[in-house]
């Protein structure tokens, strides 16, 4: 089979999806041919996050490393890729916002007269399968994990065998939909090393503290031990009835993890690694000791990780530092404890958060704080509690994302109940936009606080009245904002 794998993405920041690169590796291992079409760097679609302008990141010269936007029409290039490769199956990997991009590409595909079967996989069809399979240009969807399901599907198609009962796959046929159940979780130790072939080399160039490095993303475990109300992990766990062929959270054997990392480093000339696990430090301390020892001896590259504040201990932070970790990201989300506990279902106290940041600082690690604004029922005062907690823990990098009510999450249900959104709300990129309409705070005020959040964290408190003048989006405010960011955030 010839399979075109499509990644509809418009954030322009360079992040090769591990899931799609793993599916590519699995298909190749099974003897199928693949090609990748990725929209990340097309100028017509790109919405660069502007983190430098917001004072979150120090400016770095990505263009000197060849990172440039592509000026061509992405739909025309997509059709050209289809014509050249002549795929027998086209597979899209979609987050919810990416599915909106995919719809436009599918319309262009069908308008050109191409009838190649299309399958949609990824997070969106997993949490919104009925909506996804209803789309007139979608022939199949993959829910849950796709590596083994895609191989079985392509094997059957290549052999001319029926495909209506492949587990994890829903198939349209003769006016009906075959909704198949889920297969057990994949054994991570039997999966091949991810294959990033076909993705632009520009993806590897990422800024870190004002310099650009070749950074690769790696996966050591899957799933999450937590059930935050804004995240789809809880929904995925429910789909699998809390199980699979083991627990929802699974870890690679250390031998396998180290071997995959070594392969990726050598294959792509990596200088730094970003672990994409949901909560790196949720592993046992004994496993962390062994992984840290092996990583330091056999890899030795700077490492970036994310974790939950409740997983941070003095020994674990010391092990991170000793193995070569240079930065850890820790979720604050909101500074208001009752909101964090009762609405977000994150059982971490402010004291735990302060202690976690303190231990990381003491060990000499850079610390990034993850925050959200625009939470259901959140007020301006609540957001300033988040700002105050950030000022207390003194993160090296901070900045908020807008809360987004993803399908399949408990907070989406809450937003619907309270009338903050309607069923037909269009997905938005949480880097730029809120979709909630709440009586206690306007969208314009939320956007102003998103813009100035990092400045409120970094600037002296006596400057707050001046920072507030920067919140509106007009030339004078933006000019003043730029001056203050350069003085207090880029220093």
Q: Phi/psi class of residue 399: alpha, beta or left (left: φ > 0; alpha: ψ in -120 to 50)?
A: left
Residues 126 and 69 in one domain: yes
Residues 393 and 466 in one domain: no
* pLDDT over threshold 80, residue 486: yes
Would you state the pLDDT for residue 273? 97
Mean pLDDT of 38-43: 89
Share of the chain above pLDDT 90, in %: 79
* pLDDT over threshold 80, residue 294: yes
**Domains held by the chain: number:** 3
Residues 409 and 467 in one domain: no
Residue 187 within a domain: no
Share of the chain above pLDDT 70, in %: 96
Residues 142 and 235 in one domain: no
Least reliable range by pLDDT among 240-254, 334-348, 372-386, 429-443: 240-254
CATH number of the domain within which 225 lies: 3.20.20.70
Least reliable range by pLDDT among 73-77, 255-259, 485-489: 485-489
Q: How far apart are CA 398 and CA 11, in angstroms?
A: 19
Residue 435 within a domain: yes
* pLDDT over threshold 70, residue 304: yes
Task: List pLDDT tens digits, range 358-367.
Answer: 999 999 999 9
Residue 209 within a domain: no
* pLDDT over threshold 90, residue 134: yes
Cα 103–chain centre separation: 20
Is residue 18 very low, low, confident or very high in pLDDT (cuts 50, 70, 90)?
very high
Would you state the pLDDT for residue 47? 55
* pLDDT over threshold 70, residue 45: no
Task: List pLDDT tens digits, range 271-287.
Answer: 999 999 989 999 999 99
Residue 399 within a domain: yes
CB 128 within 8 A of CB 106: no
Residues 125 and 241 in one domain: no
* pLDDT over threshold 60, residue 159: yes
Task: List pLDDT tens digits, range 171-216.
Answer: 999 889 999 999 988 899 999 999 999 999 999 999 898 899 999 9
* Last residue within a domain, chosen from 179, 207, 232: 179
Residues 394 and 481 in one domain: no
Cα 141–chain centre separation: 20
Q: Which domain holds residue 484?
A: 460-491
Torsion angles phi and psi, residue 344, rounded to 5: -85, -15
Residue 376 within a domain: yes
Least reliable range by pLDDT among 99-113, 223-237, 421-435, 442-456: 421-435
* pLDDT over threshold 60, residue 234: yes
Mean pLDDT of 460-486: 95
Would you state the pLDDT for residue 244? 47
Mean pLDDT of 241-252: 70
Would you state the pLDDT for residue 152? 98
Residues 439 and 490 in one domain: no
**Counting runs of H as helices and runs of E as strands, what totals does the chain give?**
17, 16
Would you state the pLDDT for residue 12? 63
Residues 380 and 476 in one domain: no
Is residue 236 very low, low, confident or very high in pLDDT (cuts 50, 70, 90)?
confident
Residues 245 and 352 in one domain: yes
**Nearest C-alpha neighbor of 121 from the set 138, 104, 107, 108:** 138
Residues 289 and 425 in one domain: yes
CATH number of the domain within which 153 lies: 3.40.50.280
* pLDDT over threshold 70, residue 245: no
Least reliable range by pLDDT among 9-23, 206-220, 272-286, 323-337: 9-23
DSSP labels, 210-265: TEEEEEEEE-SEES-S---TTSTHHHHHHHTTT-SSS-SSEE--HHHHHHHHHHHH
Q: How far apart are CA 76 and CA 324, in angstroms?
A: 44
**Rg value, the chain, Cα:** 23
DSSP β-bridge partners for residue 120: 92, 141
Residue 201 within a domain: no
* Last residue within a domain, chosen from 131, 159, 179: 179
Residue 205 within a domain: no
> In the predicted model, what is the mean pLDDT of the chain?
92
Residue 318 within a domain: yes
**Residue 177: its H or E element:** strand 176-179
Is residue 381 very low, low, confident or very high in pLDDT (cuts 50, 70, 90)?
very high
* Last residue within a domain, chosen from 123, 153, 179: 179
Is residue 76 very low, low, confident or very high in pLDDT (cuts 50, 70, 90)?
very high
Would you state the pLDDT for residue 50? 63
Is residue 237 very low, low, confident or very high in pLDDT (cuts 50, 70, 90)?
confident
Residues 326 and 246 in one domain: yes
Higher pLDDT, 11 or 151: 151
Q: How far apart are CA 151 and CA 297, in angstroms?
A: 35
* pLDDT over threshold 70, residue 460: yes
Is residue 243 very low, low, confident or very high in pLDDT (cuts 50, 70, 90)?
very low
Residues 169 and 250 in one domain: no
């Amino acid at each position: 089979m010839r399979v075109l794998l499509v990644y509809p993405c418009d954030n322009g920041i360079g992040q090769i999806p591990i899931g799609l690169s793993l599916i590519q590796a699995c298909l190749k291992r099974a003897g199928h041919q693949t090609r990748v079409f990725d929209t990340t760097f097309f100028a017509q679609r790109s919405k660069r996050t502007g983190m430098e302008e917001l004072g979150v990141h120090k400016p770095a010269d990505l263009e000197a490393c060849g990172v440039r936007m592509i000026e061509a029409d992405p739909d025309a290039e997509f059709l050209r890729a289809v014509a050249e490769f002549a795929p027998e199956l086209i597979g899209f990997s979609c987050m919810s916002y990416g599915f909106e991009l995919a719809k436009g590409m599918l319309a262009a595909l069908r308008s050109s007269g191409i009838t190649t079967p299309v399958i949609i996989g990824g997070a969106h069809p997993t949490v919104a399968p009925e909506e996804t399979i209803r789309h007139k240009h979608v022939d199949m969807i993959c829910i849950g994990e796709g590596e083994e399901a895609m191989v079985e599907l392509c094997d059957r198609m290549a052999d001319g065998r029926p495909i209506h009962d492949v587990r994890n796959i829903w198939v349209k046929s003769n006016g009906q939909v075959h909704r198949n159940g889920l297969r057990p979780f994949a054994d991570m130790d039997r999966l091949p090393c991810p294959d990033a072939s076909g993705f632009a080399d520009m993806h590897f160039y990422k800024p870190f503290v004002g310099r650009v490095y070749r950074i690769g993303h790696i996966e050591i475990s899957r799933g999450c031990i937590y059930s935050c109300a804004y995240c789809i992990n809880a929904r995925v766990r429910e789909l699998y009835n809390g199980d699979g062929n083991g627990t929802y959270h699974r870890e690679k054997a250390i031998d396998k993890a180290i071997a995959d990392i070594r392969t990726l480093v050598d294959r792509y000339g990596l200088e730094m690694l970003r672990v994409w696990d949901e909560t790196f430090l949720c592993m046992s301390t004994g496993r962390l000791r062994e992984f840290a020892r092996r990583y330091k001896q056999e890899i030795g590259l700077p490492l970036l990780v994310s974790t939950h504040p409740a997983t941070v201990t003095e020994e674990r932070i010391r092990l991170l530092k000793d193995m070569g970790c240079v930065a850890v990201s820790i979720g604050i989300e909101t500074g208001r404890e009752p909101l964090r506990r009762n609405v977000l279902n994150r059982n971490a106290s402010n004291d735990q958060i302060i202690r976690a940041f303190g231990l990381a600082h003491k060990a000499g690690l850079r610390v990034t704080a993850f925050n959200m604004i625009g939470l259901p029922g959140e007020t301006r005062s609540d957001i300033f509690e988040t700002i105050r907690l950030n000022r207390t823990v003194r993160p090296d990098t901070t900045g908020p994302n807008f809360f987004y009510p993803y399908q399949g999450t408990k907070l989406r249900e809450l937003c619907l109940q309270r009338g903050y959104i309607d069923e037909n709300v269009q997905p938005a990129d949480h880097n730029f936009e809120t979709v909630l309409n709440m009586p206690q705070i306007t969208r314009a005020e939320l956007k102003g606080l998103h813009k100035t959040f990092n400045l409120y964290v970094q600037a002296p408190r006596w400057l707050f009245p001046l920072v507030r003048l920067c919140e509106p989006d007009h030339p004078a405010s933006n000019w003043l904002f730029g001056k203050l960011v350069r003085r207090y955030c880029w220093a």
